[in-house]
Amino acid sequence: MPGSRRVSRPRVLLLTPDFPPSEGGIQLLLSRIVENTPEIEFRVLTLGQPESEAYDREFAAEVRRVGSAGGDRRRAALTLNLRSLTEARSFRPDVILSGHVVASLGAVALRRTLRVPLVQYVHADEFRVRNRLTATAVKQADATIAVSRYTRDMCLDAGADPARIHVIPPGIDLPPAPSGERDEQPTLLTVATLLFRYKGHDTMVRALPLIRAKVPGMRWVVVGDGPFRPALENAIRAYGVGDAVELRGRVSDEERDDWLDRANVFCMPSRVPAAGLGGEGFGIVYMEAAARGIPTIGGNVAGARDAVLDGETGLLVDPTDHLALAGAATELLGNPERARTMGAAGRAHAERHAWPLIAARVEALLREVAAAR
Amino acid sequence: MCGICGHTRDPEGAAARAMNGAMVHRGPDDEGVHSDAASGVSLGARRLSVIDVEHGHQPLANEDGTIWAALNGEIYNHPRLQQLLRERGHTLATGTDTEVLVHLYEEYGADLVHALEGMFAFAIWDTRTQTLLVARDRFGEKPLFYANSGDDLAFASELTALAAGADLGAELDPVAVHEYFVFGYVPGERSIVAGARQLPPGHLLTWKPGGKLEERRYWSPPAAAVSEAGESTADLVGELGRLLSNSVRSRLIADVPLGVFLSGGVDSTLIAALAARESSHPVKTFTVGYDVGDVSEAEAARATAREIGSEHHELVLKVDEIAARVPAVLRGLDQPQADQSLPAFQAIAGFARESVTVAVGGEGADELFGGYPRYRWLSRAEALGATVPASLAKPAARLLAAGLPAGRAGRLADVLEPRSAMERHIDWIAGERLAMRDTLYGPRLNGSDPLAGLAAGLDGLVAPDGLSVAGRFMLLDQLHWLPGDVLAKADRASMQVSLEVRTPYLNHELAEFAATVPPDLQTGGGGKSLLRLLLAELLPESSMKRPKTAFRVPAADWLRGPLSPILLDQVNNGHVCEEGWIDRAAAAKLLDRHIASEADGSAALWPILAFGLWLDRLRGRDAGL
């Protein structure tokens, strides 16, 4: 690269409102990247949380906290952005990694004033919730990490330079290889918070009587809880399928993993919200299911198209078509051999997404951007 | 559209042919009967050709002739189902929606109903398992009456047709008659005739030789859930737009000309605007107006038609047509129905039928999306009841009622009166009919279920647990009023003139969505707030000033004028008083006062007129009409 310089251990300032110990997809992703890239000197600037001191002490990089994640989000975001200006002056980073567009205002300012290159992470829902801010961030950034081809397409629609967008999916913590033993009762499993309509629980309920007609004795196990639970319960009553559904609510990680080990098919027909933006950025839960050797059914839209390889690790269907969904679920529940083959392919797919491999791709990108400075 | 029938002891098909003969109006284009001589089961169908006009003869069978079906209605997703069935290796001989039934039955058995989106009543005879399956759509758009005597089952789309093929006897069901006079329609599973029942919406009926009969519910409208999901209104309107557009699009599929009923109100305007967007030709719209009274919506509809660029047709129902038209319509009903707008609906349907075979209407929007003001008033009354002690509320209600009888103050007095929400609801629906019951009812109806009994019956349909007041009564209306009044009216009025009416709001995905929107959000802003917001997106210039309208007719003027001699004949000579259902003297007095404009007795007089005309036809009395 003309004018580039080799940086042996680049300094990266990671700006993010979301970081452990609070739970969530973005929190997990950013912490795993830092943990798996020892050759990068990270400093994390994030929001204050109760009982974060112990976590920060043990963490692989220096964590600094400002404001509070629990209070007014706007105010907290403003504090984070303002503080990033002084933090950059003291840390003198080679690259700023903005983990969420909420942190992009300060990052863009630093890029202009201190000429520190910016790498922006984009997940998907930002385009729905903060469309203009996200569009500005991806146009300004030296590089954008899109978690899926779907997210990349949204960046392009927002006017980003195609050469600066890099699709790097989220990684997973690879569990031990699955034993292959499954419950005898044909079991469909969905793991998702009942917080969003787009996750497709409504389509699942509609498909259930048709699946049951073809696979007698089957059940649908639903892991997750949230404000849509009463609506889900009413829909189940409306269809009279209560005896085929187990609503487990919010469960421990161990119990969730146990269900992933026992169920025959993972099914989450996520769609794109009617507004046309958002939905699954990638759908890491499909990959977590695949890692446990279970075939996955997803919607043929948004990030699930990267997480589920149609016909190989699972099946993709029109997520608004309960007939298609019923057909796919019936096919996999009724054909254990095919389900096993897809489960094995899913495990191999998941192995290609283990954190060390994914973090290495992020590290390579950060180094490239730092070198081009 | 069409009419279907069947009988399980009819090896030659004579009963089926007789039943077909009594419902030619439902399907003037074709008729068919299939008889399974070995089992004695016959299916019959009259057809109004709408889809695959050439090849739609019914009943029809699967590839090897082991499964037979007859369908009344439309399966809107039949193109998708045809594709799915072909992928699974089925050979389809026609392009009809009826044919998908036999193949879906092979795939799913009775659960095939869960694959269907549409309005339907159908029958399937499975010769392999010797099982007769009869099903009715989720909301009750298409009717289905049946009679079960001994080991036998007979069924038909209309009660009159059923009577032509099965011995129903001459007895009326006094409970059904009482409920008719309270609600204005015969609700639920009863029919007006003691020997017949209605299959409720969302239900399946199976029969096997030996008379084994099973009735099972497969779907009911979900109760509204109060969600704290915090979805933005824009997200909700977006989802509504997606679902309603899909529903309108699927209902525009026809191989015959199609139009839209337009009143100028929010519901029909939204449908017409979406239909105009989906259609490559100007949409045909139809409206009815009147030359008396002040309830005509013709002007509002005209303005809307201009906005969406439709080819608009307007019918003026003149007062001098009423004396001939209204009695003919009411006499022609298979069971009595007291909705005052029914003859006007029949008139606009007949008018539309001159240029189209299918018309799309706005039925169901009020019940699913919180349109009726009653929901708001009942909520307020409950809130008041919870805060104002009865010892204060009762005298306050009396004072208000005495001093300020009309308008909002009168409504406030009603709201203050301490009683249960269900009793208040029944009072609202039945109006003065309920209050006049003590004087108007004849000896045959004396001792009918009192108000508390009716309320307990409805409480059994929708328990108050966990539901807001608005959510509870929206659900009750979906279960009771919608199939009993709104949809029975739309079906019978349109079928009298062989027009098919399609209703985009009555789509189960839309109903399931509506149940996830907090009812108080729906009923806010004058009701149907989500529909209004969607309309504002589609027609931004005009929707905000759109008046709130209901389909009303100048019934009081008609009863005072052209219908008064007919009603007088009913009171003096008709079976309604002769058989002791209504007290002759009390009815005559109410009619006198109404004619003299001393009182508006329409709410009580109209049901007497409709019931009397229907009963006279049943008993063979010709009043020279």
Contacts of B152 (CB under 8 A, 6+ apart): B7, B8, B9, B211
Strand order in the sheet with A245-249: A245-249, A219-223, A187-191, A265-268, A296-299, A314-317
Average pLDDT of the residues in A111-132:
92
Say yes or no for a CB contact (<8 Å) between B81 and A323: yes
**Taking residues B158-164, what's their average pLDDT?**
97
Does B251 score more than 70 pLDDT?
yes
Mean pLDDT within B198-203: 98
For residue A322, what is the nearest residue in chain B, using CA coordinates? Answer: B115
- Tokens found for residue B463: 């328990």
Confidence of residue A1 (pLDDT cuts 50, 70, 90): very low
**CA–CA dist B76, B118 (Å, integer):** 5
Give DSSP secondary structure letters for A268-294: E-----TTSS-S-SS-HHHHHHHHTT-
Touching check for B80 and chain A: CB below 8 Å?
yes
CB contact under 8 A, B227 and A275: no
A93 within 8 A of A12, measured Cβ to Cβ = yes
Q: Classify residue A68 as exposed, middle or buried by CB count within 10 Å of its CB (0-12, 13-18, 19+).
A: middle
Interchain pair A231, B222: CB under 8 A: yes
Number of C-alpha atoms within 13 angstroms, CB side, residue A353?
30
In chain A, the N- to C-terminal Cα span, in Å, equals 10
Q: Is B71 exposed, middle or buried (0-12, 13-18, 19+ CB in 10 A)?
A: buried
Res A220: pLDDT: 98
Q: What is the pLDDT of residue B544?
A: 47
Q: What is the pLDDT of residue B398?
A: 73
Per the CB < 8 Å rule, is A274 touching B242? yes
The amino acid at A333: L
**Average pLDDT value for residue range B288-300:** 80
Chain B neighbors of A234, CB-CB under 8 A = 222-225, 515
Give the mean model confidence (pLDDT) for residues B498-513: 97
Q: What is the pLDDT of residues A285-321, one digit of tens each?
A: 999 999 999 999 999 999 999 999 999 999 999 999 9
A231 touches chain B (CB under 8 A): yes
Collapsed DSSP state (helix, strand, coil) of residue B479: helix
Per residue in A207-261, pLDDT (tens digit) is 999 999 999 999 999 999 999 999 999 999 999 999 999 999 999 999 999 999 9
- Ranking A42-56, B60-74, B147-161, B398-412 by mean pLDDT, the lowest is B398-412
Per-residue pLDDT at A2: 44
Q: How far apart are CA B559 and CA B625, in angstroms?
A: 16
| For residue B1, pLDDT beyond 60 | no
Tokens of B191: 């029919």
pLDDT, mean of residues A89-94:
96
- pLDDT tops 80 at residue A14: yes
Chain A residue closest in CA terms to B225: A231
Query: Helices in B370-523 by DSSP H: which ranges?
Result: 373-387, 390-403, 407-416, 421-430, 432-435, 437-440, 451-461, 469-479, 481, 488-496, 508-514, 519-523
Tell me whether residues B225 and A230 touch, CB distance under 8 A: yes
Sheet of A118-122, strands arranged across: A62-66, A41-47, A11-15, A95-98, A118-122, A143-146, A165-167
Percent of chain A with pLDDT over 90: 88
Q: Is the pLDDT confidence value at B624 over 60?
A: no
User: Could you give the CA distance from residue B482 to residue A228 in angstroms, rounded to a whole number?
Assistant: 27
Is the predicted pLDDT of residue B179 greater than 90, yes or no? yes
Among B332-336, B394-398, B507-511, which is the least confidently predicted range? B394-398
Distance CA B247, CA B241 (A): 10
Q: Tell me the Ramachandran region of residue A67: left when phi exceeds 0, alpha when psi lies from -120 to 50, beta otherwise.
A: left
Radius of gyration of chain A (CA): 22
Q: What is the pLDDT of residue A3?
A: 44
**Contacting residues of A for B80, CB less than 8 Å apart:** 321, 323
- A37 to chain B nearest CA, in Å? 38
Reply yes or no on whether the pLDDT at B94 is more than 80: yes
Average pLDDT over residues B74-87: 97
Paired tokens of B603: 């709410």
Which of A257-271, B325-339, B433-447, B562-576 shows the lowest per-residue confidence on average (mean pLDDT)?
B433-447
Best to test chain A binding among B81, B203, B204, B512 (most A CBs inside 10 Å):
B512
> β-pairing, B2-7 with B152-156?
antiparallel
Which pLDDT value is given to residue B155?
A: 98
Task: Give pLDDT, residue B281.
Answer: 85
Alpha-carbon distance of B268 to A111, in angstroms, equals 55
Active site residue B5: no
pLDDT at B163: 97
Chain mean pLDDT for chain B: 90
Instruction: Determine the pLDDT at residue A180.
Output: 80
What's the rounded mean pLDDT across residues B2-14?
Answer: 96
Q: Of the candidates A187, A164, A190, A182, which has an alpha carbon nearest to the alpha carbon of residue A298? A: A190
Q: What is the mean pLDDT of chain A?
A: 94
SS3 at position B314: strand
Read off the DSSP letter of residue A164: G
pLDDT bracket for residue B448 (50, 70, 90): confident
Say what the pLDDT of residue B49 is.
77
Mean pLDDT of B390-396: 74
